[in-house]
Structure 1
Amino acid sequence: MVSEWQNSTSSERLRQLVETVRMSRKYRSLYAGTIAYLGARELVLHSNLEEAVKATKRRLHQIAGMYLTGAAPYARWLAELRQARASGDEEQLRAVCRRVMSWHASTRERLDLLTTFYQPLLADLPPIRRVLDLACGFHPLALPWMPFFRAGETACYYYACDIYEDLASFLQAVLEVLGVPGEVTVCDIVQAPPDLTVDLAFVLKVLPCLEHIEPEAGLRLLRAIRARYLLVSFPGQSLGGGKRGMAAHHEARFRTLVADCGWRLERFSFPGELVFRIQKE
């Protein structure tokens, strides 16, 4: 992973910045290309390496770090998932998935919606054979609630990507436990969105994070995604629980963003989350 950006720059300071950031427990598994991408910008703004490192960490916290609850016990979770899967008890499997999803702020906010979230969004779509889950976080753990999921019988191929290497490895094992064919990769969707054609793409609570990197990154990503349908969502409140018109702000900004794209939009409102279903074709 590191060689991808090392080959594109001879900056010793950038190399030092990436290595320093990855010494932190919080970011040691984060894709080095993302750290380098953000760090290179901060080095332009800060002549002092220590200040550039601090600024890079602040950016990383905004786009990723603030959503995690400490070090994740991936090995223990996998053991629990395998045991639940072997039991044949679907409710036990779902219970373990819920516990895992509570570790990530984005999916934790959706736990009370799981039984009602996917049905209106997916039930009336044509058969879904290929799914792309961008900046997925812990969202693949919600597969047991999706209409196209049947443990061990899923015809859908599930692609997912995130910037945490250890999370990607864990999720690849999760797909295997759930009996879902698929692939989880480490990917920076700002620099290089997955080169795939799918039926459905999840872009859940992603665009506000991208704005911390580049103002136009969100629209560029949506245009690059080759999917017939996209589910794009926004949080209805801050992580601290404050609303302050957040959903209305996101909706107005999003509608302006895609106004000239010629896509069909459908709006779905849930407690704490606003979702737009885009039909590109």
Structure 2
Amino acid sequence: MSEEFLELLTEQVLRGAKYREITPGLVRRIGAQELAKRRSFKEAVKATKNKLHQVGGAYQQTKINYEKSLEMLRETAVSHPNFRTTCHQLMQAHASTRERLSILDEFYTTILADLPPVRTVLDLACGLNPLMYPWLPLPEDVQFTAVDIYSDMLTFIQDFFEIAGVNGRTQQRDIIGNPPTEKYDLILLLKTIPCLEQVDKLAGEKLVDGLNGRTLLISYPTQSLGGRGKGMVENYAQQFERLANGRNWQVQRFDFATELAFLVQTEQ
């Protein structure tokens, strides 16, 4: 595989409407893998697009109208109950957050109830999850960092932070190859590891090795995007056990109807 072919593949993929907002580093990472495996350049381009769809595109079944969404947020920002209603409505546009809506009132309050003071939060592969901010049982001045691969989504999230008065910032990055290393009180990995392992089977382990968090909230879906759930809880519980094996972690398990969650206290 030549660097020239990799550059050409990356440029070609990023020209596509579905992929142009994705961080180029991830496109290059997947592209390099596919060029090494496929018989032709055309096959490698197609396979790269398919993998990117599995990692991110599948969770956005329709294109999100960010401009209209911001208008809705601005209109209801002055009224706290209506603002929560708007956030709830907008989170339906992303499959991962939509699955959490039925348990949203209990999810964070239950899991985060007994944590020591949290001043910094890192939300990895965040999607639209930062819109859950009104439900977080954390100080109003908590510093919130949201990370994802889509630049347009992150621009929207940054605008949301400003409307909601959140001390927030966004970062576009490939967290498989370039994980954040700054220290955080709380790091959210909500249904993130299964997505990353579509690209690299060891991605979850590598990511956790590189993170610097006092507390990790790691969760897994209890059913597929297609609605199949047979054996998924047992499978992901075993996957987490393998991830935690050999680490000096204190772990609490939380079982919800649509999500399996583990709150981890690390030794950092």
The normalised TM-score by structure 2 is: 0.96
Aligned partners of 2:90, 2:100: CA distance in 1, in Å? Answer: 13
Residue 10 of structure 1, CA deviation: 6.9
Are the counterparts in 2 of residues 130 and 156 from structure 1 also a CA contact under 8 Å?
yes
Q: Alpha-carbon deviations, 1:233-260, whole Å to 9, x = none?
A: 0000011111111011000121022110
Picking from 97, 105, 119, the partner of 2:109 is: 119
Partner of 2:233: 247
Residue 168 of structure 1, CA deviation: 1.0
Q: Alpha-carbon deviations, 1:54-89, whole Å to 9, x = none?
A: 11011111111110122211111111111111xx32
Partner of 1:24: 16
Structure 2 residue ranges without an equivalent (≥5):
none
Are the counterparts in 2 of residues 237 and 272 from structure 1 also a CA contact under 8 Å?
yes
- Verify: 1:216 aligned to 2:206, yes or no: no
**Matched position secondary structure for 2:93:** coil
Picking from 138, 160, 165, the partner of 1:148 is: 138
Residue 277 of structure 1, CA deviation: 0.4
- Verify: 1:129 aligned to 2:119, yes or no: yes
Structure 1 letter corresponding to 2:30: L
**Matched position secondary structure for 1:237:** coil
Q: How does 1:79-90 map to 2 (within 5 A)?
A: 79-85=71-77, 88-90=78-80
Residue 41 of structure 1, CA deviation: 1.0
Partner of 2:152: 166
Aligned partners of 1:41, 1:221: CA distance in 2, in Å? Answer: 19
Structure 2 letter corresponding to 1:91: P
- Verify: 1:15 aligned to 2:7, yes or no: yes
Partner of 1:228: 214
User: Which segments of structure 1 move beyond 2 Å, counting only runs of 4 or more?
Assistant: none
Are the counterparts in 2 of residues 219 and 258 from structure 1 also a CA contact under 8 Å?
no
- Verify: 1:205 aligned to 2:199, yes or no: no
Partner of 1:37: 29
Aligned partners of 1:146, 1:91: CA distance in 2, in Å? Answer: 15
RMSD (CA atoms): 1.3
Partner of 1:6: none
- Verify: 1:77 aligned to 2:69, yes or no: yes
Aligned partners of 1:240, 1:212: CA distance in 2, in Å? Answer: 17
Aligned partners of 1:258, 1:216: CA distance in 2, in Å? Answer: 13
**Matched position secondary structure for 2:16:** coil
Picking from 238, 245, 263, the partner of 1:259 is: 245
Picking from 157, 175, 181, the partner of 2:167 is: 181
The number of residue pairs the alignment matches comes to 267
Are the counterparts in 2 of residues 199 and 227 from structure 1 also a CA contact under 8 Å?
yes
Structure 1 residue ranges without an equivalent (≥5):
1-8
Partner of 1:3: none
